[in-house]
Amino acid sequence: MVEVLSDATTETQDRDGRTPLHLAALHGNLDAFSVLTNELGADVTATDNTNRSVLHLAATGGNEKIITKLVADFDIDANCRDDENETLLHRAVKAGKVVAVETLAGHAADLEARDRRWRTPLFVACMEGQDEIVKTLLKLGADKGATDDFDSTPLNQAAWYGHEAVVRHLIDGRLDEEIKSDAGWGPLHGAAMHGYEGVVRALIEAGADTETKDEDGMTPMHHAAEQGYEDIARLLAMHGADVDSQDSKGMTPLHYAAEETYTRVVRRTHGKGVRQRSMVDVANPGRETVVGILLAAGANKEVRNSEGKTALDLAVKAGKEMVVTMLGAM
């Protein structure tokens, strides 16, 4: 098919604005790439509808030979950006192309380049759970403390999405600093809220502060209790988490575990390659077990929230007979 292309057709674009050279780069067709560039003079600087260059497509496809040709032979900028302000490294990371990441780094690609959300390639790799790429970028010297436009860190993202292996690479046995997002979230908050026991364990073992509070004054134990994650509540209690800590509403973990059976939780979905989060009501029987864990850890049943309610008051209102019994009213 390459043989019948003429000078007039080398720049033909599909509905996404991609030329034949874009597609050759994306799919790693080195023969077609060579014919298009060396014999037919295809434009190596062409961009598609999202301003992605031929080199962007080569990075997305993980085609290191074409990447090298474009950078070395055609002097294409290894740090060019698309409409999302993503560089080649961002694209290679999202596609999970380890060798492409190494190749681009070898051609002076900026490890700390920011996309429009102010995320570095390492940040994206941690969010996506790209374990091998995280190891590669860390070895190359990427800054693991770089924050995005919400002041969240790569570690916060890895913990939020439950990527235990990535978390362990980032902390490397010791947690140097816990940087919180602009909502006051640290890595332990996200892991506890979403039920990632392995991540919680890794963070605690590395020295994470179990008493850290978010902007609502909630500790990881508050979140574990609210969501009914009994294993995490037990783990936090075993490591000395304060079971009587009060948030900005005066609520203790026991208050959250004792109240209504339905919990507002984050539902994570994937649509067209994009993570989406929405709040849904789900039944939460795990809370009753958490009540027992908190009581066994010495939780004070008499603590009142800002409305003057004890955990028992909330359990009675919710009609949770078993919890009412556990709290000693029956």
pTM of the model: 0.83
Read off the pLDDT of residues 88-135 as tens digits, 9 standing for 90 and up: 999 999 999 999 999 999 999 999 999 999 999 999 999 999 999 999
Query: CB-based burial of residue 75 (10 Å sphere; 0-12 exposed, 13-18 middle, 19+ buried)?
Result: exposed
The pLDDT score that the predictor gives to residue 128 is 95
If you write DSSP's letter for every residue of 280-314 in order, what string do you get? EEEE-THHHHHHHHHHHTT--TT---TTS--HHHH
Average confidence (pLDDT) over 269-276: 37
For residue 312, pLDDT beyond 80:
yes
Residue 270: pLDDT band (50, 70, 90) is very low
**Could you tell me the domains of the chain?**
1-115 (1.25.40.20), 213-220+241-330 (1.25.40.20)
If you write DSSP's letter for every residue of 29-44 in order, what string do you get? -HHHHHIIIIIS---T
For residue 276, pLDDT beyond 60:
no
Spatial contact of 261 and 287, defined as CB atoms under 8 Å apart: yes
Query: CB-based burial of residue 58 (10 Å sphere; 0-12 exposed, 13-18 middle, 19+ buried)?
Result: buried
Q: Provide the percentage of residues in the chain whose pLDDT is more than 70.
A: 85
Residue 181: pLDDT band (50, 70, 90) is low
The pLDDT score that the predictor gives to residue 223 is 95
Residue 275: pLDDT band (50, 70, 90) is very low
Q: Beta partners for 275? A: 270
Residue 39: pLDDT band (50, 70, 90) is confident
Spatial contact of 149 and 180, defined as CB atoms under 8 Å apart: no
CA distances from 124 to 119, 142, 181, 266, 283 (A): 7, 12, 16, 21, 33
Task: State which amino acid sits at residue 256.
Answer: Y
